[in-house]
Structure formats: structure tokens, C-alpha cells
């Protein structure tokens, strides 16, 4: 009732404005027309409009009318998909907030009518981050299929969080738009070397693109090293030049931490708990700005620090933005190599497979097998743990080859602190 009233009032008040701009998209020139949706060659186009031929009713490719319908219809008949009147005069309901977890259906989100194949409006294929910028092959080929994997950014939780935190975000807003502005988003995957082709908008700066000038280079300079994509080619654009590569990478740390701050309490319906907070500052994680307190055994390109010993990683060096076959949105390809198998749990040592793509394990040190970590914890010159009273840490179990692994999650996680009984009685933050 309330929703119906509001929707109707929004439509009445915005009808005239929208009608005017729908026929004069030049008002948005330089922004909308530069966007992927506004492109006259590959932008929005619902080919099946009623019974009319492709791009019927005179609306050319890129026109606003392919997303916004006055009166929920175009010239009296409702084009496919026929879903009635919706907020913002969109052709369907913007977001179905009754759906609290995945799997999502096309009708749960306006964007899925296109970012899905085959779809009811306009089928658009997209790859995951590991493939678009990380040289992976295969993987999910639409945003809908990425969102329906093992782990995903829960759309209901993003919607709830954004309503409470960003003033422009309304009850009728779309959770995808917390990170994207559909009137501005550009085709980054096809122009990865040029940061002005950004696809994202920072939630607290929604009416601009993010990353056009705010890059990992401008914020961190040589402290940021782009990971490998394949061979000696670096992410995100396959260049061999570290400077050019970091200058093509948006500042994803600032982007992700506009929600994941050190203080925000964020509830996850999928995980059924509040999230750990993320602190990338010099008093937070070592993968962030905190200086290491020892040497590190890292693989190329991190083995020759141009910045001394204080690299800062981008969140998207390890995470996907939408969904993943691994838990916790972890990427399936990291630093130029696929993970050797999917990480389905954070129990045990299985997710050491992620660390393995950047850190040197026993295998490479010649003292054991792959994804075994005796060297860094016991044998390296500054290793944190002396080997005595094995059971105190390893428990009673274990086979002939060793005392058996300790769950990595006991010590390594965002914000994790591991007590280290070394000669100084120091503490070490272990992530």
C-alpha cells in the first residue's frame, strides 16, 4: 500500500523530467553516452519490444527507454518482460528484498534481466575478475551465475547496509548500484589499461566513477605491486611494466573499505554472523599498511620489493567482487596461477592453497610437500615457533610424516593476532 503510493508519486513527479531526457539523451553527454549502457554500438537494446521489430518505437541502441518505461509501458503496450509498473519507471521491480540468500532468479533483480544468458530482455555475458583481469579461463560467464556460486556478496545484506549508510540509496534502490552507477559505468574489461574506463562508483560517491584518477598508483605508488596475470605479464592489462599496471588498477582498498571499515558492524545472512572488521592501516593487517616484523618468503613478483618490506595488497588480489566457487569470495586464480582445487572450507589447512600462490611452502624449500608449512613456522631464520613439546600446538594426533597440521584459521584471518613466544616475547599479527 505505502510502497504503491510512493511508487506512483515518484513516477508522477519524475515523469516529465524523465520524458524530457528520454528524448534528449544529450543532457547526459560526456557521461551517459560514454557509459557502456549508453553506447550506440554495444549499449542497452531490448530487441523484442512488443510486436515491433528490433529497436522498435524509434528507440535506438543506448536509449534510456530500454531500461525506463513511462507508465510501465511504451506507447500503450508493455514490452517484454511484462512486469507492470515499477519504481524509477524501470521495466521491472528493481530488487526483490524478500529473497534473503542465493540462488537468485532473473526476476529478483532488474539487472539480471540482461546480465544473464539466456535472458528475457538482452543477454549480456560477463566474466569474473579472475578471468577479466587475471588471465583465468572458464568460470562463470554472467553476473547472475557468479552470484549463484558457493560464496557471494549477499544482495539483501548489501541493500540493508546501504539503506542505513548512504543517503542517496532509497528503499527502492538496487544493491548492485551500491557499487555501480548504471548511468556512468564503462566497459573496463575491454579497456583494462585505461583507468578512465571505470565500471564502479564508490558507495559514498555514487554520482561519479571511482578509480579514474584514484588508483593503486596514486595512493600507494611502489608499495603496490600488481600480481602476475600469466607468465611475466601483470594484472590488470597484461603489461610487463609495474608502474603502468598499478596506474591501471583502481584503488580497490578505498573502494571496499568504504563499507568494510575498521568499525562498521556488518551482518551477513549467508554466514549467519557479523563480519570481522577490516583494517588496512599501519596498525591493521600486514597485507595492508602494517610493516612486517620479519623477513618473508614470497614468490615473484613480490620477491624483490621496490619499497623495502612494506607491500600493500589490493582486496581484489585475493577476492572476487560478486561470487566465487571458493568460500569467502576468494579468487580461483591468484598471482598468475589457478588454485589447485576449490577452497570449500576454512577449517583445516586446505585454504593454505591460497597462500601458496604468493608464499613459499616446504615443497619449494625442499623440506616437505606442497601446502605444508613447517619451513616458515619452524625452520626459517626468523621462524616464530621452536620445535619442542609438539603436542602443545599440534595436539595429540598426527601420522609418521609429522605431527599433523594445525588449522590455519586459528591464527591467520583479518585482524588475527598470534601470540609468539620468541626471545622477545613478542606479539605478531599473522595476516
Verify binding: residue 405, ligand HEC, rule CB under 6 A.
Answer: yes
Q: Does 6 bind ligand HEC (CB under 6 A)?
A: no
Question: Judged by CB under 6 A, which stretch of 52-60, 77-85, 112-120, 239-247 contacts ligand HEC?
Answer: 112-120
Q: Decide if residue 184 touches ligand HEC (CB under 6 A).
A: no
CA 52-106-170 angle, 5° bins: 100
Q: Least CB distance from residue 237 to ligand HEC, whole Å?
A: 11
Residue 418 within binding range of ligand HEC, rule CB under 6 A: yes
Least Å from the CB of residue 381 to ligand HEC: 10
Q: Classify residue 338 by its DSSP letter.
A: E
Least spacing, CB of residue 341 vs ligand HEC, in Å? 15
Q: Kindly give the pairing relationship between strand 333-334 and strand 337-338.
A: antiparallel
- Output the smallest distance, CB 34 to ligand HEC, in A: 11
Cβ neighbourhood burial of 9 (10 Å; 0-12, 13-18, 19+): exposed
Rounded Cα–Cα distance for residues 272 and 420 (Å): 31
Interaction of residue 395 with ligand HEC, rule CB under 6 A = no
Residues present in the chain in total: 431
Alpha helices in 62-206 (DSSP H): 129-132, 143-147, 155-165
Whether the bond between 81 and the residue before it is cis, its omega within 30 degrees of 0, is yes
User: Which stretch of DSSP H or E encloses residue 17?
Assistant: helix 2-22
Question: Please, which of residues 84-103 interact with ligand HEC by CB under 6 A?
Answer: 88, 90, 94
β partners of residue 333: 338
Q: Is 388 in the site for ligand HEC (CB under 6 A)?
A: yes
The interface region with ligand HEC, picked from 47-55, 70-78, 239-247, 405-413 by CB under 6 A, is 405-413
Over the window 337 to 366, marking each residue x when it contacts ligand HEC by CB under 6 A and - when it does not, the resulting string is ---------x--x--x-xx-xxx-------
- Binding segment toward ligand HEC, per CB under 6 A, in 48-56, 104-112, 212-220, 240-248: 104-112
- Write out the three cell numbers for 370: 606442497
- Taking the least distance from each CB to ligand HEC, the nearer of 243 and 348 is 348
Residues of 172-186 as b/e, b for ≥16 C-beta within 10 angstroms? bbbbbbbbbbbbbbb
Candidates 1-9, 47-55, 70-78, 291-299: pick the segment binding ligand HEC (CB under 6 A): 291-299
Minimum distance of ligand HEC from residue 241's CB (angstroms): 19
- Given the complex with ligand HEC, which of 113 and 220 has the nearer CB atom? 113
CA distance 124 to 58: 22
Q: How far is CA 253 from CA 67, 160, 240, 289, 291, in A?
A: 31, 22, 23, 11, 17
Q: Round to whole Å and give the CA distance between 348 and 319.
A: 20
Nearer to ligand HEC (CB atom), residue 18 or residue 229: 18
* Residue 384 grid coordinates: 616464530
Q: Could you say whether residue 176 binds ligand HEC (CB under 6 A)?
A: yes
> How would DSSP label each residue in 269-324?
TTTTEEPPP---STTS-TTTTSPPSS---B-TTTTS-TTSS-----GGGTB-SSEE
Residues of span 37-66 touching ligand HEC by CB under 6 A: 37, 42-44, 46, 64, 66
Site string for ligand HEC, 113-142 (x = CB under 6 A): xxx-----xx-x-xx-x--x----------
Q: What's the min distance (Å) between Cβ of 2 and ligand HEC?
A: 18
301 preceded by cis ω (within 30°)? yes
Question: Least CB distance from residue 3 to ligand HEC, whole Å?
Answer: 15
Does residue 406 interact with ligand HEC by CB under 6 A?
yes
Q: Which of 162, 215, 226, 248 binds ligand HEC (CB under 6 A)?
A: 162
Site string for ligand HEC, 235-264 (x = CB under 6 A): -----------------xx-xxxxxx----
CA 301, distance to chain mean position in Å, is 23
Distance CA 301, CA 297 (A): 12
Alpha carbons 202 and 211: distance in angstroms, whole number:
9
What is the Cα–Cα distance from 63 to 70, expressed in whole angstroms?
Answer: 13
Q: For the window 314-333, what string marks contact with ligand HEC as x by the rule CB under 6 A?
A: -xxxxx-xx-----xx----
Facing residues of 274 across strands?
267
Number of residues that bind ligand HEC (CB under 6 A): 137
Of positions 276, 306, 344, 395, contacts ligand HEC by CB under 6 A: 276
Per rule CB under 6 A, is residue 74 in the interface with ligand HEC? no
Task: Please pick, from the candidates 297, 337, 364, 379, the single residue that binds ligand HEC as defined by CB under 6 A.
Answer: 297
Nearer CB in complex with ligand HEC: 75/168: 168
φ/ψ bin of 335: left (φ > 0), alpha (ψ from -120 to 50), beta (otherwise)? left
If binding is defined by CB under 6 A, does position 183 make contact with ligand HEC?
A: yes
Amino acid at each position: 500500500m505505502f510502497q504503491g503510493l510512493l511508487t506512483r508519486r515518484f513516477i508522477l513527479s519524475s515523469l516529465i523530467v524523465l520524458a524530457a531526457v528520454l528524448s534528449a539523451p544529450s543532457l547526459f553527454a560526456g557521461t551517459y553516452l560514454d557509459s557502456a549502457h549508453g553506447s550506440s554500438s554495444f549499449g542497452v537494446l531490448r530487441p523484442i519490444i512488443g510486436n515491433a521489430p528490433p529497436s522498435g518505437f524509434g528507440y535506438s541502441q543506448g536509449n534510456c527507454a530500454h531500461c525506463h518505461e513511462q507508465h510501465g509501458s511504451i506507447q500503450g503496450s508493455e514490452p517484454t518482460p511484462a512486469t507492470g509498473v515499477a519504481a524509477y519507471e524501470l521495466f521491472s521491480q528493481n530488487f526483490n528484498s524478500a529473497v534473503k540468500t542465493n540462488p537468485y532468479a532473473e526476476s529478483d533483480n532488474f539487472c539480471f534481466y540482461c546480465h544473464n544468458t539466456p535472458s528475457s530482455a538482452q543477454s549480456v555475458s560477463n566474466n569474473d575478475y579472475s578471468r577479466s583481469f587475471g588471465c583465468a579461463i572458464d568460470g562463470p560467464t554472467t553476473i547472475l551465475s557468479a552470484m549463484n556460486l558457493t560464496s557471494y556478496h549477499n544482495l539483501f545484506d548489501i541493500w540493508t547496509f546501504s539503506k542505513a549508510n548512504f543517503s542517496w540509496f532509497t528503499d527502492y534502490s538496487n544493491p548492485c548500484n551500491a557499487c555501480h552507477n548504471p548511468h556512468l559505468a564503462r566497459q573496463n574489461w575491454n579497456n583494462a589499461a585505461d583507468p578512465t574506463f571505470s565500471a564502479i562508483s564508490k558507495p559514498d560517491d555514487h554520482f561519479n566513477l571511482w578509480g579514474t584518477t584514484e588508483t593503486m598508483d596514486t595512493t600507494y605508488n611502489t608499495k603496490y605491486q600488481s600480481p602476475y596475470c600469466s607468465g611475466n605479464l601483470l594484472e590488470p592489462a597484461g603489461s610487463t611494466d609495474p608502474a603502468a599496471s598499478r596506474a591501471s588498477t583502481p584503488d580497490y582498498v578505498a573502494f571496499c573499505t568504504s563499507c568494510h571499515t575498521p568499525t562498521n558492524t556488518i551482518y551477513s545472512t549467508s554466514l549467519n554472523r557479523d563480519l570481522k572488521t577490516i583494517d588496512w592501516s599501519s596498525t591493521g593487517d600486514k597485507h595492508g599498511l602494517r610493516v612486517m616484523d620479519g623477513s618473508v618468503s614470497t614468490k615473484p613478483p613480490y620477491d624483490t620489493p621496490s619499497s623495502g618490506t612494506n607491500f600493500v595488497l589490493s582486496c581484489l588480489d585475493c577476492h572476487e567482487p560478486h561470487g566465487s566457487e571458493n568460500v569467502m569470495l576468494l579468487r580461483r586464480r591468484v598471482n598468475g596461477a589457478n588454485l589447485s582445487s576449490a577452497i570449500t572450507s576454512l577449517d583445516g589447512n586446505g585454504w593454505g592453497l591460497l597462500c601458496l600462490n604468493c608464499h613459499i611452502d616446504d615443497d619449494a624449500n625442499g623440506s616437505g610437500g606442497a601446502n605444508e608449512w613447517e619451513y616458515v613456522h619452524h625452520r626459517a631464520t626468523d621462524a616464530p615457533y621452536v620445535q619442542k613439546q609438539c603436542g602443545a600446538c599440534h595436539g595429540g594426533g598426527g601420522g609418521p610424516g609429522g605431527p599433523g597440521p594445525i588449522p590455519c584459521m586459528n591464527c591467520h584471518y583479518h585482524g588475527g593476532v598470534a601470540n609468539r613466544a620468541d626471545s622477545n616475547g613478542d606479539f605478531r599479527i599473522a595476516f
